[in-house]
A and B are shown apart, each in its own frame.
Chain A
Amino acid sequence: MPNTTDLQVHLAKLYAIWLREFKVFLREKSRLVASTFTPILWLFVIGSGIGSTVSVPSAPDLDYQKFIFPGIISMSIIFTSVFYGSYIIWDRKFDFLKSVMVAPVSRGTVFVGKTLGGMTNSLIQASILLVIGASIGISFNPVFILQAVAVILLLSFGLTSLGLALGSYMYSLEGFQMIVSFVVFPLFFLSGALFPLDNLPAWLSVLTAIDPATYGVNALRTTILDIESNNLAADLAILTAYTAALGIFGVYSFRRMKAV
């Protein structure tokens, strides 16, 4: 049974890992600008461009731009979180990780600390987008916002874990490109961020059902727009299960990762 001082010591280590991530995030402004700019571009260009020709059958009153807004938030979370995780490749390349692993810190702590860093990052970006959402006529109330934040944190925990886990198996930055092509884009395109999931061909439905981001998109749509799926509880349950599984996979991967 750990006593309070043990717990404090543990939390201090966790805080240390998080703090480093957060400071680097604050200083890498170009990263933040670039990864916020792309979703905004999607929201306004794709949102208005495609929105001028299509409407969403299940919600005919809703314009397309509003429809994809939760999807665009998810997009930013997917990209930011998975990338964030895979920056572990850099940490290893530049030996920073070695200096952490030679300290008396468990791999699990390093993992969770980094994940918290990724979640912070995602939350900040999503918040910027939520504010921008007001400009396209999205209305918020405090309950929705709290729900949305919960979904954002869940989704980004899971996807940062995924990025960290994958990154821990890779030794070169070329591996990064693989993650982008084979993980980030499929997660995004299959999540239903850009299209409703009601009338998809069977093969696509199966794929979207496998994609953990689908449940994040759905849940966000439900909370922010109050449409699409009315089974928020089911979405959250599945998302939580995915997140837990990815978290476990991440800790496992970190434990078996070679230090040098």
Chain B
Amino acid sequence: MIKIRNLVKRYERLTAVDNLTLDIEENEIFGLLGSNGAGKTTTIHMLATLLKPTSGTATVNGFDIVHQPAKVRESIGIVFQAPSSDDMLTGYENLYIHSLLYSLPRSIRQKRIEEVLELVGLSDRKNDRVKTYSGGMRRRLEIARGLLHKPKVMFLDEPTLGLDPASRETMWKYIRRLVEEEKITVILTTHYMEEADMLCNRIGVIDKGRIIALDTPTNLKAGLGGDIIRIKTQASNAEEIAKGFDFVHKLEYENGFMVLSVKDAKRDLPVLLKQIEAEYADFTSPTLNDVFIRLTGRNIKEAPEGGFSERFAKYD
């Protein structure tokens, strides 16, 4: 659905997107995960034809982003990092104006507007000025606007930035629903690990303009070497038994616990417990945050030098 080839965006002093090559399949939720200033927004802006690449190419829905911008625009919907509706107008009016800009036939205009309002749960507030909306409602209105013309591809730049945990989960629900109901491909950017993990079929970890890892969340985490099981036991043969299993990669002792590295604790722990008389057992799975730290040597909240967060401070 999207083919990116050697895409580069260079500003005077830095390279915001550095030789990006990537394919995004139809009907997937693809996540670009990266810290502030990683180049996520810059990438989205180039794909949405708002920014000219310094070099390289990409096609969206088969259309070249540099040479066929109008075709690309008809194919995409986008939710920007910062809200972009006119807050002097009502939700409905904002959508109406965009329905004209996207040349929705008169006969279906109103029906389609009601439909997208329903989808994002704003029907009862449609005649209120956007000024009076909460942050979450504004974001949902932006999603509705992005969906109006039934785009093939939807870009969501930090769709849940600044939302509280409850609204964030509602937003995830909407995003999943729109992939199911509208059959579209979603590219979202985020620096919330949990979001990438819960929502995305595949994740590209982007750092300083480069994709440094690309896989499903499960595989990325599995790449770290599986889960960690901790067992407390008095049994003297425990170590011997544990070492007898193939799935145990490593065995250590820590604070009186026997610590085992295994591939999949949910399957392996019950097997172990059948053989070992344990007083206590638990396990932890690696998170995407562990993946990120492994890949970049940083926590995702720490921006690389010269982060870009200031510019969007008001939403963070």
Which A residues are within 8 Å of any B CB, using their own CB?
9, 12-13, 15-17, 19-20, 23-24, 27-28, 94-96, 98-105, 259-260
Of the A-B pairs whose beta carbons lie under 8 Å apart in the complex, a sample of 28, sorted by A's number, is A13-B101, A16-B97, A16-B98, A16-B100, A19-B97, A19-B100, A20-B86, A24-B88, A27-B88, A94-B84, A95-B82, A95-B83, A95-B84, A96-B84, A96-B85, A98-B50, A98-B80, A99-B85, A100-B101, A102-B50, A102-B73, A102-B78, A103-B73, A103-B102, A104-B73, A104-B74, A105-B101, A260-B51
CA distance A103 to B98 in the complex (A): 8
In the docked arrangement, what's the CA distance between A103 and B50, Å? 10
Contact B84 A23 (CB under 8 A): no
Closest residue to A10 on the B side, CB-wise?
A: B103
Contact B97 A20 (CB under 8 A): yes
Within 8 Å CB of A28, what residues of B? 88
Which residue of the partner chain, among B48, B50, B78, B103, contacts A12 with CB atoms under 8 Å? B103
Return B191 CB to nearest CB of chain A, in Å.
20
Within the assembled complex, what's the spacing in Å between the Cα atoms of A260 and B84? 12
- Closest Cβ of chain A to B116, distance in Å, is 15
Closest to A99 in B: B84
Contact B100 A104 (CB under 8 A): no
Closest A residue by C-beta to B75: A104
Q: How far is the CA of A9 from the CA of B105 in the complex (A)?
A: 9
Question: CB distance B103 to A95 under 8 Å?
Answer: no
Instruction: Please measure, in the bound complex, the distance between the C-alpha atom of A24 and the C-alpha atom of B73, giving whole angstroms.
Output: 26
* A253–B6 CA distance with the chains assembled, in angstroms: 31
Top 9 closest A-B pairs, CB basis?
A: A16-B100, A95-B84, A99-B84, A259-B50, A103-B101, A104-B73, A16-B97, A24-B88, A12-B100
Closest B residue, CB atoms, query A105:
B101
Are B100 and A99 closer than 8 Å at their CB atoms? Answer: no
Assembled-state Cα–Cα distance A100/B78 (Å): 11
- Within the assembled complex, what's the spacing in Å between the Cα atoms of A102 and B70? 9
Contact residues of A: prevailing secondary structure: helix
CB-based contact B85/A13 at 8 Å: no
A102-B48 contact in complex given A23-B93, A24-B88, A24-B89, C-beta closer than 8 Å: yes
Q: Is B123 an interface residue (CB 8 A)?
A: no
Residue of B whose beta carbon sits closest to that of A13 = B101
Interface size, chain B (Cβ < 8 Å): 26
The reply to whether the CB of B49 lies closer than 8 angstroms to some CB of chain A is yes
The answer, among B50, B76, B88, B97, for a CB contact under 8 Å with A101, is B50
Contact, CB under 8 Å: B98 / A99? yes
Min CB gap A221→B, angstroms:
36
| B51, B93, B100, B102 — most chain A CB neighbours (10 Å) | B100
Chain A residues near B83 (CB, 8 Å)? 95
In this assembly, does B145 line the interface, its C-beta being within 8 Å of a C-beta of chain A?
yes
CB-CB under 8 A from B78, the residues of chain A are 102
Asked whether, in the complex, the Cβ of B103 is within 8 Å of the Cβ of A259, the reply is no
Distance between Cα atoms of A102 and B74 in the complex (Å): 9
**B50 & A13 in contact (Cβ 8 Å cutoff):** no
- The answer, yes or no, to whether B176 is at the interface (CB within 8 Å) is no
**B100–A15 touching, CB < 8 Å:** yes
Complex Cα gap A103–B100 (Å): 10
Given contacts A23-B93, A260-B50, contact A104 B84 (CB under 8 A): no
B145 touches A99 (CB 8 A): yes
CB nearest neighbor in A for B83: A95
**Centre residue among A95, A96, A103 by max chain B CB count within 10 A:** A103
Contacts of B76 in A (CB 8 A): 102
Assembled-state Cα–Cα distance A107/B15 (Å): 28
With A and B bound together, what is the CA distance between A259 and B50 in angstroms? 6
Cβ of B45 under 8 Å from chain A: yes
Known: A99-B98, A104-B102. A260 touches B45 (CB 8 A): yes
Q: How many angstroms from the CA of A12 to the CA of B103 in the assembled complex? A: 7
Q: Are A20 and B84 in contact (CB under 8 A)?
A: no
Shortest Cβ gap from A23 to chain B (Å): 6
A100 contacts across to B, CB distance below 8 A: 101
Which of chain A's residues has its CB closest to B72's CB?
A: A104
| Mask: chain B, 62-97; 1 = CB below 8 Å from A; 0 = not | 000000001001101010101111101100010001
Closest beta carbon of chain B to A100's beta carbon, Å: 7
**Could you list 18 further interchain pairs (A-B, Cβ under 8 angstroms) beyond the known A16-B98, A20-B97, A28-B88?**
A15-B100, A16-B101, A20-B89, A20-B93, A23-B88, A23-B89, A27-B88, A95-B80, A96-B86, A98-B50, A98-B84, A102-B48, A102-B50, A102-B73, A103-B73, A103-B102, A104-B101, A260-B51
Complex Cα distance A257/B101, Å?
A: 19
Q: Which residues of A contact B85 (CB under 8 A)?
A: 96, 99
Query: Within 8 Å CB of B51, what residues of A?
Result: 259-260
Residues of B within 8 A of A104 (CB): 70, 73-74, 101-103
Shortest CB–CB separation between residue A31 and chain B, in angstroms? 11
